[in-house]
Structure 1
């Protein structure tokens, strides 16, 4: 009898243990409570800084530019700081044939000067003789020895001789200048002085700092050749190329922040959204339409005084903001066909519920219908969770 009772107790214990082991246990899940929060949607992308007004100083004339004494970062003052000095280009070297031709031209010019000098002396001698004749004729006409006509003839001859002297002097001057011109053709590239009136000084058009030295070494430059870039580092703005689908939501004056530049976040405002887009290829090889968005930095300029021209930054531009919205964590949402759904916990069981969403970001989504404040939803539901499944909740923040 006792043995049968013992066997019965063992059988009951085994059945109870099996029933306990096979009895479905609640699925442990993380849950979150539906509440009211603010949602902010941002467009985040890389950008770069740029000085608002960059002045490129170019060579105003062609010539031999001396080596620039400026370096990037140097301070310049408008209409005072000499950016560059340009002198005339040295004459070309003469080959043997050209030199002989030039030397022959010099010799011919010297001979012409000698000829003009002789003609001048001849004219001066003729003038002295005729002036003496005029003096004698004057004395004779007073005494009535010669006729008035003879006196007038002597006077005319003297005046003609005087004009001949002036003509000979002018001819001598012309021949002298021709000699100087011929001698100048023999000048080589030695007399290229860089001081005085021979040189043109290029002054800084505005006050600021040198951003880049484009042409530094001494060399021959052509008119219009860029030499340096000048700008004011304090007058800085930021330009970022944003996807066109985000750019259409950006308004002038929208709040933004600048991060990833090596310092603390900086406040900024959208100055303008450019009206045209450009096609760029992403790292994945996908063509994208991007629009330049220009931003102004807000606050004390000393906070970004280390930022220069062309520095890389990351910008976050506010596209939309909503306050006091009923929100659900993104991790609680999943798709059921074309609809969004969540698992709501009620009476320790999971209940499938379809929801309608509004705006959303990477953390929260706006609930337009389907959920109420203080309801609990399951975060990241696994395959073990289904409609009606018993669950045990672990509250998440």
Structure 2
């Protein structure tokens, strides 16, 4: 009996020992699990903040951009028709002018040059020779007129004798011929006299010195240079009174409401532009962009040094404004503008923000947000511009992509929208 009691006591002690051990294991396991969870959350990296964008459908315009300036379509450079002294120009840029009415400048014909002693002596000798030639020509004319008068009287006597039958018809014809020849001699002498008189005037003109005709108030002072078109004065190179040469530019006029834009773009972009392509004038300082159209692509290019010192081959593209004139009325000649020329349009296409794309080898890729994680995906694009890319394959409508993915964004990493 005693042995049984001892065994029961030992069994109770063993049960208590097992219960204590089980409780101790549970406490230790719970503490260990809690420590593991704490370490997991402490060591777990937080989500990467990023900007998100959506894949949608819409129109995509492919464009080339360039800088340039405006210009008046037809500029008229008024030049001096004669050499002389021009009066001071009173016009300022922007003043209105009327075709064939507004006098832009007045030019007094230039004075002759001073003659040195040798030239003056030669000119005086020329005058004396011309005077003698005039006297000789007059003497010849007087002689020819006397001989013609004698021939006429001889013809009259021959006609009377012929009527009486005293001379033959041949003698009459000879008298008539003589009278005509003497008349021709008179005409020749008169012409010679005219030539001699003109030579005399020319010789006397070579003797004219500066200021010889200043007192001649009957002579018109100046030549009036009038505006060829209606519009405004654009530029006045020099307003001062001065001596001008023939053909020297005096003033520029034109119609500032008849503007066009000259945009220079890379030659590799110019080959894609065609007359008739739509364009938009931007960054012109007057508000919203306005519409234009390509009127001409110049056939010759030119070399231009870029801001980085690189030689570039560029081509001028001429744009005609199609927007109403009040939209760009504040523009003038040679104002700086920027332009965007549409070379291709894709209608209702699947598109993604261009900032979401990056290169992966020789292919394009994006990060798509799936269940809070970034998933890298290769895509194929059909076209792109500065803001969007047309997607051929790899994305679906409504998917979310990461914009400007940084170094922290990798495949599988947790991401969240940047606040």
| Whole-angstrom distance in 2 between the partners of 1:323 and 1:194 | 78
- Is the contact made by 2:303 and 2:312 (CA closer than 8 Å) also made in structure 1? yes
Map 1:43-54 → 2, pairs under 5 A = 43-54=64-75
Q: Say whether 1:216 aligns with 2:231.
A: no
| Whole-angstrom distance in 2 between the partners of 1:391 and 1:239 | 51
Change (3 A) 1:221 1:15: closer
Quote how far apart the aligned CAs of 1:355 are.
1.0
Map 1:128-143 → 2, pairs under 5 A = none
Quote how far apart the aligned CAs of 1:97 are.
9.4
2:349 to 325, 334, 338: 325
| Whole-angstrom distance in 1 between the partners of 2:95 and 2:37 | 90
Quote how far apart the aligned CAs of 1:271 are.
1.2
1:258 to 267, 275, 281: 281
Return 286-295 or 321-330, whichever deviates more. 321-330
The corresponding residue for 2:53 is 32
Return 238-247 or 67-76, whichever deviates more. 67-76
The corresponding residue for 2:337 is 313
TM-score between the two structures when normalised by the length of structure 1: 0.70
Return 22-31 or 294-303, whichever deviates more. 22-31
Change (3 A) 1:87 1:337: same
| Whole-angstrom distance in 2 between the partners of 1:285 and 1:390 | 43
1:285 to 290, 298, 309: 309
2:90 to 69, 89, 100: 69
TM-score between the two structures when normalised by the length of structure 2: 0.67
Q: Which runs of 5+ in 1 are unaligned?
A: 117-170
- Is the contact made by 1:87 and 1:194 (CA closer than 8 Å) also made in structure 2? no
Change (3 A) 1:20 1:72: closer
| Whole-angstrom distance in 1 between the partners of 2:296 and 2:118 | 67
Tell me the matched-pair count: 334
Q: Say whether 1:228 aligns with 2:269.
A: no
| Whole-angstrom distance in 1 between the partners of 2:295 and 2:271 | 14
- Is the contact made by 1:25 and 1:390 (CA closer than 8 Å) also made in structure 2? no
Return 315-324 or 89-98, whichever deviates more. 89-98
Quote how far apart the aligned CAs of 1:17 are.
2.3
Q: What's the C-alpha RMSD, in Å, of the aligned pairs?
A: 3.9
Q: Say whether 1:247 aligns with 2:270.
A: yes
Deviations 1:225-259 (A, max 9, x none): 12111211111111111112222222222222222
- Is the contact made by 1:45 and 1:315 (CA closer than 8 Å) also made in structure 2? yes
Change (3 A) 1:230 1:13: closer
Change (3 A) 1:303 1:392: closer
1:372 to 388, 396, 402: 396
- Is the contact made by 2:294 and 2:317 (CA closer than 8 Å) also made in structure 1? yes
- Structure whose CA Rg is larger: 2
Change (3 A) 1:73 1:351: closer
Q: Which runs of 5+ in 2 are unaligned?
A: 1-19, 136-192
The corresponding residue for 1:79 is 100
Quote how far apart the aligned CAs of 1:195 are.
7.7
- Is the contact made by 1:29 and 1:391 (CA closer than 8 Å) also made in structure 2? no
Change (3 A) 1:217 1:385: closer
| Whole-angstrom distance in 2 between the partners of 1:194 and 1:247 | 63
- Is the contact made by 1:328 and 1:365 (CA closer than 8 Å) also made in structure 2? yes
